[in-house]
Amino acid sequence: KVRPSYACPPPTLDEAVRDPEWFLVLDVAALVRMKLTSYRLVDQMHIVDLSSVGLLSEPVRSSYPQELLGRLATIERTIEE
């Protein structure tokens, strides 16, 4: 954990994938988990953007603990309003 208050540990290099140009990047599930863990306003806005283009699929969602799912639901309620 980066901070003692974080619910989840940060993503590891094992969760990275190679992009077409051979750079290592986090997969979507790890990236969103990191954003939900930090939960700063900028992270919340990044999640809004990822959601708006359809990247928060059910397989991505199912990998999160309950606390992070609650945060994601809060963000999504805000989007709907």
Read off the pLDDT band of 7 (50, 70, 90): confident
State yes or no: pLDDT of 45 exceeds 80.
Answer: yes
User: Contact at 8 Å (CB) between 18 and 24?
Assistant: yes
Q: pLDDT above 90 covers what percent of the chain?
A: 60
Q: Provide the 3-class DSSP secondary structure of residue 81.
A: coil
Classify residue 33 by burial, with Cβ atoms within 10 Å: 0-12, 13-18, 19+.
buried
Instruction: Report the predicted TM-score, pTM, of the whole model to 2 decimal places.
Output: 0.83
